[in-house]
Amino acid sequence: MTAPVVVQKKSDMKISESIAMTAPVLVTTKDNSQIISFSMPSSYTLKSLPTPTDSRVKIVTIPTKKYAAMRFRWYRSDERIKNMQEKLLSALHLDGIVTEGSISYAGYNAPWTPPWMVRNEILVEIQ
């Protein structure tokens, strides 16, 4: 999977450039919609990233934050994610750790990965 981008060459010609997928892919649900976030390869800087060709794709810098995470295996499902969210929030509450912000799901594997090898995480920002 690649992100749709255009690179401006010095000759001002527009050519397409594909960027390989990176892991993790973060999915955050906010206001009944999902935000999907991709990390860019370290070979790029903010200035050298190609310009997205799709207006829905935004390049943003995410400030450093502290997260609590709980890892789980197998394919994700709404039920499995909800169960893991409840486990993570319960464990944090028992330890007196204050959370803030939305909960995110992190996926690390390609869709064709066998389920017993799939690595996922539930993440929540903590204070």
pLDDT for residue 1: 46
- Alpha helix segments (H runs only) across 6-94: 78-94
Q: pLDDT tens across 83-119, in order?
A: 999 999 999 999 999 999 889 999 999 889 999 999 9
Sorted by where each begins, the domain ranges of the chain are: 5-126
Residue (of 97, 99, 105, 100) closest to 123 by Cα position: 105
Beta bridge partners of 72: 120
Q: pLDDT tens across 49-84, in order?
A: 888 888 888 888 888 899 999 999 999 888 999 999
Q: In the CATH hierarchy, which top-level class contains the domain 5-126?
A: alpha beta
Q: pLDDT tens across 1-52, in order?
A: 445 554 444 445 456 777 877 889 999 888 888 888 888 888 888 888 888 8
pLDDT for residue 119: 95
Measured CA angle at 77 (ends 75, 81), to 5 deg: 100
pTM: 0.73
